[in-house]
Structure 1
Amino acid sequence: MTRDTQGRGWTRGGGLPFARGLVALALVLGCSTTATPSASGEGGGPAEGVDEGEEHAPAIAPPDVPLPDVPVTYADELANVDARIAAIRHRAQALTPSWVTLETLTGALLERAQLTGDYDDYAAAEEALEEAFALAGEGTGPWMTRARLHFTLHRLDAADADLDRLSERLLLDDRQQAAIDGLRADIAFQRGGYGAALEDFLRIAEAKPGVTSLARLATYRWKTGDFDGADALYKRALEEYDGQIAQPRAWLRLMRGLLDLDRGRYHEAYAHYRNAEAELSGFWLIEEHIAEIRARLGEPAAAMDLYEDLIVRTRNPEFMDALADLKEEAGDAERAAALRKEAREAYEALLDRYPEAAAGHALGHYLGRGDAPARALELAEANHTLRPNGEAKILFAEALLAAGQAAQAQQVIEDALASPWRSAQLHLVASEIFAARGDAERAASELAEAERINPRIAD
């Protein structure tokens, strides 16, 4: 979710859709590839009576990559995945038990999880993997599939270990080696190893050009401040994708919108979101960004209607927080408090179940509330330990500042500033930290840089 309670215009912590989407791309493109899962995303399109904003859509030039004549619906996409899962289960029951069949089942379950964001789907995939490894012989098994699952759930060490086991095989074809190299580069990026990640991203994109390699490189360009370069790569990936599954096209269009959001280009972001919706109608991940941008464009009533519907369909605590902010601004403090209480309970339940995957998401809640700085710092440190990339460093520094540890916050933010990571978020938080440290000159300089990247960052 991308609505921050302090109006900064940056993403609530915990794993952006690009991380989830890269794995989804690998899956659907046949490599076994929408942050990590959220709460359940089951459901069809918007509830009856919800204004989808046709009359409010910005007057923007037509999309530079043509849209489909008729959008695929989320319900249809989900039904197709479910039909494949049922067929694989039927085949598994009819044939002699095989870990290969169970790996195929796991891939379909992961595809469903990427679509729904439902932790139950990830649990089902883990169960199928356990059965597969129980059947596999010594030294064999679905190592790559499990490595991808671990990566999605932010278990980077476990993903590395599985890749090591897979690499021990004497015979790996080019496709398998490319998959290993790509995931290792993704892991390096999440750990802040930007030089190694970029080297591998470029090498893979040259040796095996395709949608996934282009999207990986686009993500790197985005997070290191080359917004135009990132957009060109996402556009190229969108042009090259020729698959039948709609989610990758919708995800690529969504990423282009998030690029514009990071630069404060709200109308352009909205146009990309609506293009994504034209690819995959009723997809909760797109609709939550439409709700957020409508709030930013001064349409709180429409945004609240959308969030109400999304909460009913998904029970996602991030949407509860977003609606709580809007309700509070509208004067409904009682409903806002109830939503925040429910969101906190949901986050803590998710942390009990999947601590690595949920840490960053829950951290956004605690930082936004500001009422439990010790808990926020605990989560921020855990999140940073798991994946010390630029986003995690920024959140860790902010949590340290909120906990009254400005000197330590400066050390962390200096590390982030010394890295290739570049965002308005980074420079805004740096400005706050330097101001707290009494360095008015650096605070002003960092704020100016934040506003250069995103003129609306401090609105």
Structure 2
Amino acid sequence: MLWRCRSVWFGLLLLSGCASTPPTAPTADAGWLSQAPTDGLPAVLRLPNWPATTEQLRTTSESIYLGNLDARITQLEGADHHNAAVAQALASSLLHRYRIIGRWPDAERAGALLQSALTSAPDSAPLQLDWASWLTLVHRFAEAEEAIARVDALHSRGAVVDAAQLSSLRSELALATGCYDCLGDAFHDPAVAAPAEFYELANRAHAALLHGDLDLSSRLYFEAQRHYRDVGPYPLAWLHVQQGIALLRYGHCEAAEPFFRAAHERLPAYALATEHLAECVLERLRGDEARALYEAVIVQTGNPEFIGALARLELVDERPERAELLRLQADELWADWLQSAPQAHAQHAAQYYLDSGRLEWARALAEQNL
């Protein structure tokens, strides 16, 4: 979910080697936030540094960033996983890599590590909190709420809890379960006293989008970029993808493409950026480029959603035999994924079956996801 301030995995930005904490800054310029959209699109999209290129806003190279992450994972893999702190650190690193690379086995292994660690350290509040976060990631929301209740109980008995992480996770769960009354003023009125801080501004931008205000959302996303004070490439690539997704929700594919492309250029291994860039490129009838992007992200992730998208491309491109082979491959993978983690994959699988005309399957999965 997007409504997050600073979850544990953002701490992995330290892998870049010279991360820094954003300094205290004044409230974001209210005058800029009051400007009206023009030509049907937010005026902020006209700015030459939105999205910022790698030359305009430099970050650590992908090879160094991911190389450090992989090295950390390798080091932790060789340590004692029965040690709860080791298991927790390895799980956090695997989840961070999953969010970038998009390989589902990383997320599965992270969950298994956390669950195993809890058997030996059930009274560890940080471990319970990370477990609740993982359960939220895989859409096991009722179990996540139970884990948070255990965190609260441990905290009441004197356990130290990361208050910011807990608050962020509560908000994430509230959004996921539709409990909007549980959210604070920053969600309900995101433009008021917007703080000049990257994560807070990104959260408010998403809130504005949920309220149907694309213009305010876009301006807040831009403000978040202006207040990025780190060197890790992932948060910035993530921010640009969120702006692109916001534009796609309103049918602005042409305006969205530069944001997905900027994220892809900054962090080529970022699967979410690659897949959305392929979607926009295909929408604009550049089939060969879309095919190359889909093929690359499929090799990287093995994600059946992307295989299904490539199958539809091949069908439109009058390659029915290849389309059918891809569809069968996607069917097989979806069956495996739904068996291993049904809640995590039901929503995307439902869309896949809907797109391929299997309405009953889509409906059953959609109802399961309610």
Q: Same fold (TM over 0.5)?
A: yes
Alignment of 1:236-385 (within 5 A): 236-371=223-358, 373-384=359-370
Paired residue type of 1:329: V
The alignment yields a C-alpha RMSD, in angstroms, of 3.0
Q: Which residue of 2 aligns with 1:78?
A: 66
Using a 3 Å threshold, how does the CA distance of structure 1 residues 140 and 190 change in structure 2: closer, same or farther?
closer
- Residues 275-307 of structure 1, C-alpha deviation per residue, up to 9 Å, x if partnerless? 212321343321222211111112122212322
Using a 3 Å threshold, how does the CA distance of structure 1 residues 73 and 30 change in structure 2: closer, same or farther?
closer
2:197–2:227 contact (8 Å) kept in structure 1 = yes
Correspondent of 1:104 among 68, 89, 93: 89
Alignment of 1:42-441 (within 5 A): 62-64=48-50, 66-69=52-55, 72-90=60-78, 92=80, 98-136=83-121, 138=123, 140=125, 142-168=127-153, 169-170=155-156, 171=158, 176-199=162-185, 201=187, 210-371=197-358, 373-384=359-370
Q: TM-score, normalised by structure 1?
A: 0.66
Q: TM-score, normalised by structure 2?
A: 0.80
Using a 3 Å threshold, how does the CA distance of structure 1 residues 235 and 28 change in structure 2: closer, same or farther?
farther
- Cα distance in structure 2, aligned partners of 1:202 and 1:208: 15
- Cα distance in structure 1, aligned partners of 2:291 and 2:74: 37
Give the drift of 1:116: 2.1
2:100–2:271 contact (8 Å) kept in structure 1 = no
Give the drift of 1:339: 1.4
- Residues 98-129 of structure 1, C-alpha deviation per residue, up to 9 Å, x if partnerless? 42332222211221221222221112212221
1:221–1:227 contact (8 Å) kept in structure 2 = yes
Secondary structure class of the residue paired with 1:179: helix
- Cα distance in structure 1, aligned partners of 2:129 and 2:195: 18
Secondary structure class of the residue paired with 1:62: coil
Correspondent of 2:11 among 12, 20, 30: 30
- Cα distance in structure 1, aligned partners of 2:285 and 2:77: 48
- Cα distance in structure 2, aligned partners of 1:181 and 1:78: 29
Give the drift of 1:65: 5.8
- Cα distance in structure 2, aligned partners of 1:209 and 1:155: 33
- Cα distance in structure 2, aligned partners of 1:179 and 1:212: 13
Using a 3 Å threshold, how does the CA distance of structure 1 residues 162 and 263 change in structure 2: closer, same or farther?
same
Using a 3 Å threshold, how does the CA distance of structure 1 residues 66 and 375 change in structure 2: closer, same or farther?
closer
2:4–2:168 contact (8 Å) kept in structure 1 = no
- Cα distance in structure 1, aligned partners of 2:197 and 2:117: 30
- Cα distance in structure 2, aligned partners of 1:151 and 1:194: 16
Paired residue type of 2:258: A
1:202–1:217 contact (8 Å) kept in structure 2 = no
Count of residue pairs brought into register by the alignment: 334
Q: Which residue of 1 aligns with 2:41?
A: none
1:321–1:365 contact (8 Å) kept in structure 2 = yes
- Cα distance in structure 2, aligned partners of 1:357 and 1:67: 33
Using a 3 Å threshold, how does the CA distance of structure 1 residues 273 and 27 change in structure 2: closer, same or farther?
same
1:261–1:269 contact (8 Å) kept in structure 2 = yes
Give the drift of 1:235: 1.8
- Cα distance in structure 2, aligned partners of 1:218 and 1:341: 39
Q: Unaligned stretches of 5+ in structure 1? A: 1-18, 33-58, 385-459
Secondary structure class of the residue paired with 1:242: coil
Q: Which moved more, 1:318-327 or 1:147-156?
A: 318-327
Q: Percent identity?
A: 28
Give the drift of 1:244: 3.0
1:60–1:268 contact (8 Å) kept in structure 2 = no
2:6–2:168 contact (8 Å) kept in structure 1 = no
Give the drift of 1:236: 2.1
Using a 3 Å threshold, how does the CA distance of structure 1 residues 128 and 352 change in structure 2: closer, same or farther?
same
